[in-house]
Amino acid sequence: MNRLKHKILDEVKEDLEGIETALRENLSPHFDLVREIASHILFSGGKRLRPLLTVLCARLCGYAGNYDKTFSIIFEYLHAATLLHDDLIDDARLRRGKPAAHSVWDNSTAVLTGDFLLARALSIGTETGSLKIIRIVSEITENMSQGEIRQLMRKGNLNLSESEYMDIIRCKTAVLIQGACRVGSLIADAGEKEESALSDYGFNLGIAFQMADDLLDYTSDSSVLGKEVGADLKEGKLTLPVICSLTTANSKERSDMEKIIKSKAFSVEEFETLVKMLRTCGGLRYTEQLAEKYVERAKDALSVFDPSKTKEILLNIADYALSREA
Amino acid sequence: MNRLKHKILDEVKEDLEGIETALRENLSPHFDLVREIASHILFSGGKRLRPLLTVLCARLCGYAGNYDKTFSIIFEYLHAATLLHDDLIDDARLRRGKPAAHSVWDNSTAVLTGDFLLARALSIGTETGSLKIIRIVSEITENMSQGEIRQLMRKGNLNLSESEYMDIIRCKTAVLIQGACRVGSLIADAGEKEESALSDYGFNLGIAFQMADDLLDYTSDSSVLGKEVGADLKEGKLTLPVICSLTTANSKERSDMEKIIKSKAFSVEEFETLVKMLRTCGGLRYTEQLAEKYVERAKDALSVFDPSKTKEILLNIADYALSREA
């Protein structure tokens, strides 16, 4: 485990425990099958990044009440619901190193459990009694489904542009992390300045996280990643490392890459060849640098807050976005 | 077209036009594919029963504003979202006489469009600015997904009890129609007495509608029904006509029925034999009588309102629940 991750986990240990408790308590009144399936996705080693951000952002804005963890799980539910529907769409075999829910149960169960978690997230949202929070949660949901539909429409499209890619990751990842941070400030009844700063922090962090995720698909191995390497490509999803490399490649390189990309049943060797080309064509480096820029923006957004332990954790989380291995 | 239906449609013509307009306007700012797919399910001859009930219930409570139709489409969206996920789960070929969305596009698109419509419904809900309405909408969503999961769990179970059946149709049908009516009263700022009366009306109407629907699966033919006859049974769904008949049948009858039910690829002749047995064992009659009871309860619930044209339409809709042919 890398050092930064260790440090962060050490400092948020109690918060994470509180979040686990809130998740378990919220699910427990529900009948068996729903709980079982929801638990499969909810308790299989997720990072709890989103609820953790809500809790930390609320604290950064001076919140000292008891509802931060209760409300924070909205964002884990939304995340889990998306994963359930996503894995089914991508026909993914592994999720977090375990078989994806739709291959343990069936597609129908995965769809319905996703629906249930979505509905639950919105119910918890209404419990906040804040119209603003509810509006944010429903906008996130709408954005995420639109992002997924756009991604699906573009599947297998070798001409996907960088701006189309940015639009997809904004919808499918950044708005959720942004919402988790923004709602943290709202739970704390923070002012507009703080709300806007944490909204910026979350948005930029979300973009950086997704870019790092997309990089890992080319640079990690499957035992660490908990899912198949090259999975994005096999699903026909073009991400920034490839998009950028296809643009800068000469025509010979481009046609070599396209051949591998189009043959979705590429061998390990072919995949390694492709990764080498992503390196020589600069796609990996470009993505890393852009992600770094977003991390810097996320950190800059926190400048409105005085130094504190919580602020430092949030800064560390931003740095961790790029240094993580899975 | 039967007379009652004709009469109702004549009286609500303008309302239905207003609802269509609201649906089209709400979808139009959305990008092409979402609109296209959502339109496939939204504009394929649905009855618009749910939004119509919202509009009528608001009017019955004296509402004279301009937002009834805008808000009423929440319930058509929720309904359409469920149909999209449902058809996929049941692998239905036809819906309202047209190919089901997931066979025109693919499963993924159907899942994501369902998610989008669900999210849209909740966004419109937040636009009401009423926490109570939002809470109702999110509770409906939660209930519906639970009902679907329960139905899925019980698929193919020949021992499904009447009370389990009632629980399933309550969740998957009655709570939505109940919510549509109740929200109508809330849009009109009606008192508790009116809210509770319309809530009862909607609940009982919803149960009656679902029972009538379940009867039609055995008594209608597919050109009228717009979906395959015997579809419920082919999907392993036991409904009241069968549940009741299996209970009252002697052991020879029961084993004959079970044989047909278990062989999901039953012929038209076998299906007709089964329908005859549902008649002799009393399952069809029992379901009709119970549905009639719920229609009476729905109509009784309206007794708190003075006579009016709107009240009469609502009474007619309740009667129509049982007389409809598709």
Those residues of chain A whose CB sits closer than 8 Å to some CB in chain B are: 30-31, 33-34, 85, 88-89, 107-109, 111-116, 118-120, 122-123, 125-126, 129, 131, 134-135, 138-139, 141-142, 144-146, 148-150, 152-153
What's the mean pLDDT when you consider all of chain B?
Answer: 87
Q: What is the pLDDT of residue A268?
A: 85
Would you call B256 exposed, middle or buried from its count of C-beta atoms within 10 A (0-12, 13-18, 19+)? middle
Enumerate the β-bridge partners of residue A94: A99
For the segment A127-184, what is each residue's pLDDT rounded down to a tens digit? Answer: 999 999 999 999 999 899 888 888 888 888 888 999 999 999 999 899 999 999 999 9
Q: How confident is the model at residue A102 (pLDDT cuts 50, 70, 90)?
A: low
CA A211 to chain B, closest CA, distance in angstroms equals 23
**A126: pLDDT confidence band, cut at 50, 70 and 90?**
very high
Chain A interface test: which of B138, B140, B146, B168 (most A C-beta within 10 Å): B138
Kindly state the average pLDDT of the residues A13-19: 92
Domain boundaries, chain B: 3-323
Nearest chain B residue to A115, by CA: B145
A88 CB neighbours in chain B (<8 A) are: 107-108, 111
DSSP A77-101: HHHHHHHHHHHHHHT-SEETTEE-H
Q: Determine which helix (DSSP H) or strand (DSSP E) holds B46, and give its type and residue range.
A: none
Q: How far is B4 from chain A (nearest CA, A)?
A: 37
For residue A228, the number of C-alpha atoms closer than 13 Å in the C-beta half-sphere is 19
Q: What is the per-residue pLDDT for A153?
A: 81
Q: List the Cα angle A197/A207/A20 in 5-degree steps.
A: 80
Predicted local confidence at residue B326, as pLDDT: 62
In this complex, do A142 and B123 lie within 8 Å of one another by their Cβ atoms?
yes
Q: Tell me which residue has tokens 């009538």.
A: B212
- For residue B18, what pLDDT band results from cuts at 50, 70 and 90? very high
What is the model's pLDDT at position B108? 78
List pLDDT tens digits, range B234-244. 888 899 999 99
Which residue is closest to A127 within chain B, CA to CA? B135
List CB contacts (< 8 A) between B129 and chain A. Answer: 131
The whole-number pLDDT of residue A154 equals 83
Return the SS3 of B94.
Answer: strand
Residue A133 CA from chain centroid, whole number = 20
Does the distance separating the beta carbons of A116 and B149 come in below 8 Å? yes
Q: How far apart are CA B55 and CA B276, in angstroms?
A: 41
H or E element in which residue B154 lies: none
* Chain B nearest C-alpha distance from A136 (Å): 9
Rounded-to-integer distance, Cα B321 and Cα B204, Å: 11
Please tell me the least confidently modeled range out of A184-188, A208-212, B91-95, B143-147.
B91-95
pLDDT of A224 > 80? The answer is no
Q: Which pLDDT band holds residue B13 (cuts at 50, 70, 90)?
A: very high
Indicate which of A130, A133, A142 best probes the interface with B, i.e. most B CBs within 10 Å of its own CB: A142
In terms of average pLDDT, the best of A171-175, A254-258, B303-307 is B303-307
Strand partners, B94: B99
pLDDT at residue A83 in the model: 85
B123 vs A88, A89, A139: nearest CB: A139
Partners of residue A120 in chain B, C-beta under 8 Å: 142
DSSP B48: -
Question: Is residue A28's pLDDT more than 80?
Answer: no
Quick: pLDDT tens for B204-223: 999 999 999 999 999 886 55
CB contacts of B119 in chain A (<8 Å) are: 138, 141-142, 144-145
* CB spacing of B115 vs A152 below 8 angstroms: no
Averaged pLDDT score across all residues of chain A:
87
Report the pLDDT value the prediction gives residue A155, as an integer from 0 to 100.
82
pLDDT of A33 higher than 90: no
Candidates A34, A88, A134; nearest CB to B126 = A134
Fold of B3-323: Farnesyl Diphosphate Synthase (1.10.600)
Is it the case that residue A270 has pLDDT exceeding 60? Answer: yes
Distance in Å, alpha carbon of A139 to nearest chain B alpha carbon:
7
Residue B133: pLDDT band with limits 50, 70, 90: very high
- CB pair distance less than 8 Å for B146 and A116: yes
Name the DSSP class of B306: P
Most confident of B16-25, B226-235, B248-257: B248-257
**Strand B98-99 to A98-99 pairing:** unpaired
Range among A261-270, B41-50, B101-110, B122-131 with highest mean pLDDT value: B122-131
Q: What is the mean pLDDT of residues B71-86?
A: 90
Query: Most A CBs within 10 Å: which of B78, B112, B151, as the mutation test of the A interface?
Result: B112
Do the Cβ atoms of A111 and B111 come within 8 Å? yes
- Strand blocks (E) in chain B: 94-95, 98-99
Is B141's CB within 8 Å of A115's CB?
yes
**β-strands A94-95, A98-99 pairing:** antiparallel
Of A220 and A93, more confident: A220
Nearest CA in chain B to A123: B138
Name which of A112, A123, A145 is nearest B112 (Cβ-Cβ).
A145
Mean pLDDT confidence for A72-98: 76
Can you tell me the distance from the alpha carbon of A179 to that of A199, in angstroms, rounded to the nearest whole number? 7
Q: pLDDT value at position A34?
A: 66
Complex ipTM value: 0.84
**B2 exposure class (CB count in 10 Å sphere: 0-12, 13-18, 19+):** exposed
Q: Which of B89, B115, B153 sits opposite A145 (nearest CB)?
A: B115
pLDDT for residue A302: 98
